[in-house]
């Protein structure tokens, strides 16, 4: 039997939802600590990663793609603009929209954050082999895909 902590009720130690919740809480703490080392939060990291992967985007599209509420996107973008990681400019095709572009400093920060995420994954998944990590990722993706559709 795997150890899930001294205060874990026996009936919960074999319940996948409880195990996922406990692991997600631990993962969340590790990720938050990793981002805090950059003086950033998850919203910042998601926005920078999306811009690094997909290029310039409107604020609205970024929010939808990253699953961030519109008002939170505005606040996070304002913070990233203030740090010199992104620039906001009117869309030449539609002046009502703002387009967000990653700066060189933002691209550098996105790469640093990606390395931090990799280190967090290594710490979180330390007891698993590479094959087990790949299998876990496949299974979690399957669960998330299923529940995202329903």
Q: What does CATH list as the number for 40-149? A: 1.10.10.10
Per-residue pLDDT in tens (0 to 9) along the chain, 150 residues: 455 555 567 778 788 998 999 999 999 999 999 999 999 999 999 999 999 999 999 999 999 999 999 889 999 999 999 999 999 999 888 888 889 999 999 999 999 999 999 999 999 999 999 999 999 999 999 999 999 987
Model pLDDT, residue 94: 85
Beta strands in the chain (DSSP E): 57-58, 86-91, 94-102
Model pLDDT, residue 9: 75
Q: Provide the whole-model pTM.
A: 0.83
Model pLDDT, residue 1: 42
Model pLDDT, residue 2: 52
């Amino acid at each position: 039997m795997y150890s899930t902590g001294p205060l874990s009720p026996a009936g919960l130690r074999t319940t996948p939802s409880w195990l996922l919740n406990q692991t997600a809480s631990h993962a969340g703490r590790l990720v938050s600590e990793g981002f805090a080392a950059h003086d950033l939060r998850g919203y910042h990291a998601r926005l920078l990663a999306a811009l690094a992967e997909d290029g310039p985007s409107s604020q609205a599209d970024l929010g939808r793609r990253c699953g961030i509420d519109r008002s939170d996107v505005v606040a996070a973008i304002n913070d990233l603009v203030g740090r010199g990681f992104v620039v906001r400019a009117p869309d030449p095709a539609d002046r009502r929209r703002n387009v967000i572009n990653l700066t060189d400093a933002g691209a550098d920060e996105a790469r640093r954050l990606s390395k931090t995420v990799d280190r967090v994954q290594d710490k979180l998944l330390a007891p698993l082999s590479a094959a087990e990590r790949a299998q876990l990722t496949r299974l979690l993706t399957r669960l998330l895909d299923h529940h995202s559709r329903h």
